[in-house]
Amino acid sequence: MPHRSEVEILLVEDNPSDVELTLRTLKKHGLANSVVVLRDGAEALEFLLGKSPGGRPRLVLLDLKLPKVDGLQLLQQIRADERTRTLPVVIMTSSNEERDVVESYRLGVNSYVVKPVEFELFSKTVAELGLYWVLVNRYPPAGRNARPDAGTLE
């Protein structure tokens, strides 16, 4: 597993085909050097918030329909913890249900993307997400609170 400072993308996905396609696309665009793949929400909670956290990724790509702890529960716990509150989290799911979209944004997701079924479009979507969130987006360093209502940085 990569060292905590090396983790750029945490992919939380239980579908082996989606994992393979996502990793292949990220590798093609030079973004797969430090990807950690976890297959359920409980593993992700342990990685992000456990007694010995595995690292602070630059981006969390999160499926909603996960075993053990679902994506919405995981998102809620990520946002509730000071250490992970500002992590960029992108829901990447097959669910196009309005209630899932609304609840994800209510809980503080940064983006909600419905996985395209078509291979080429799926690949393009993953590439654009990775390039934007890892290379273009600027985010606060670990341990910093970026909420506008928080006053000064810790």
The answer to whether 75 and 104 have CB atoms below 8 angstroms apart is yes
pLDDT band for position 150 (50/70/90)? very low
pLDDT band for position 34 (50/70/90)? confident
Please say if the pLDDT value at position 13 is more than 60.
Answer: yes
Question: Which tens digit of pLDDT belongs to each residue from 109-125?
Answer: 999 999 998 999 999 99
Please tell me which residue, 70 or 145, carries the higher pLDDT value. Answer: 70
Candidates 135, 130, 136, 134; CA nearest to 22 is 130
Domains of the chain (ranges; CATH) run: 4-135 (3.40.50.2300)
pLDDT band for position 152 (50/70/90)? very low
Angle ∠(111,114,116) on CA atoms, nearest 5: 135
Please say if the pLDDT value at position 53 is more than 80.
Answer: no
Please say if the pLDDT value at position 151 is more than 70.
Answer: no
CA–CA distance, 62 with 76 (Å, rounded to integer): 12
CA–CA distance, 109 with 34 (Å, rounded to integer): 22
